[in-house]
Structure 1
Amino acid sequence: MIRFPYRAVSWLTPVALLVLWELLAQTGILPKQVLPAPSSVLVKAGDLLADGELVTNLLASLQRSATGFAIGASLGLGTGLLVGLSKVADALLDRSIQMVRAVPFLAILPLVIVWFGIGEAGKIFLIALGTAVPLYLTTVLGIRQIDPKLLEMTDVVGLGRAARIRWVVLPGALPSILGGLRLSLTAAWLALVIAETLGADAGLGFMATNAREFLQTDVIVLVVLIYAAIGILCDLVTRVLERRLLRWHPTYARLTA
């Protein structure tokens, strides 16, 4: 039986859009001041690579996002497990976290400047906050959606609390946790864009801000494409984790068969 090439087809749409974009730009339908051709953006990327500007700013953004993500993911996962497993923690923490979740990033930006100034701490705080909330929500949801019959079975076979968490609760919540990890990676980059407006002296956001001042549309488009490429890479990493960690899960196995 011939299998339909789903993975190959999934790349056809973005490639077709790039080709169409190039054609429209080369024929002048899209003015270069509005949206330069992909080939022009590629040439600009080569120039920025040659003088080291692109590498320096990319590394600065990656360092910020990695630090903020590590802190936020640890807090989100740890707090989610605590609230999901403890009614006392749920009563103490969940309401406050839900209130924080409802506050937009831009609304707390002035407060972050007051707290941390325009240094690196404020930027990392915003990224950590954006990362922690999605992972917290999906972790709690995953624990609460575990089939009660499975928990009853652990009582029947005499599993203790630690063994029940190890063999039933965590594996049952894992699909939801990995879904939250994907959302958190996306949120980390969204938060990075906002964070790098806080007087950054390096980073992709810094590049885009300077390019806006000098009407360098090709640099702005390049930054957007880099964000998109990193987002795709992060998504591929989470898919690899799902493939490795959820081999046992019947629903996931059926979807990937």
Structure 2
Amino acid sequence: MEDKIKQYYRDRVENKDRSDFLWQVGKTVDGVSVPDEQIDLIIENIASKLQLGIKDIVLDIGCANGLLTKKIAGYVTKVTGLELTSELYEVACEYNSHGNIKYINANILDYEIGEGNDKFTKVYLYEVMQHLSYQEADMLFKKLGDITADDVSIFIGGVLDVEKKWNFFDTFERRSRYFTGLLSESDPFGSWYHKDYFNCLALRHNFDSECVSQKNRLYTSHYRFDCVLTRKQN
């Protein structure tokens, strides 16, 4: 799956203007980039759910071209953005750098914070989970337990909701493209999740979890959900 993800985003970077950040990361509806107000809603949601503060050390997993990272950096002390695809990583470094941002071209499942570095107090990943298999999702939860502070809060945003799948594939044309895609791969859109799968992973890795529907104003609310994790306190 990793090679497929890299190729998908490599094509999106190379086939459009390098500064077309919304297109590069798929923030589109029927091929048209969403209004900037939608990005503002996403940022407000992340900041609110994580209760971001100036002392926070934040990890952005799957930061892509830094579209969200640079905005979140204004709330906190430091942000580390991890991005798997080198082309997106390069765009982030070129266009969305800031004094308190560090971008790293790496897979979160292989990432180590390094001796002497502070553990992250807040973590977020947005529309990333569909790129992970169910087994990799389990590995991610374990990794999150290893690299975060005891009082960490984690926001997992924009998760494909298996219970709302057909709200997205809501026309014969969309369903036809989807079913045709299934002939050549397991699911062309990636992994769809049930909220209880996240709740089970949370219990398995010593987190409390709250999975919630997205606000109706958000353009993805009819087929995605969000989840907040906090570490269980003994």
TM-score computed with the length of structure 2 as normaliser: 0.22
When Rg is computed on C-alpha atoms for both structures, the one with the higher figure is: 1
Query: Structure 1 or 2: larger helix share?
Result: 1
TM-score computed with the length of structure 1 as normaliser: 0.21
Which one scores higher on RCO, CA 8 angstroms, separation ≥ 6? 1
Query: Structure 1 or 2: larger strand share?
Result: 2
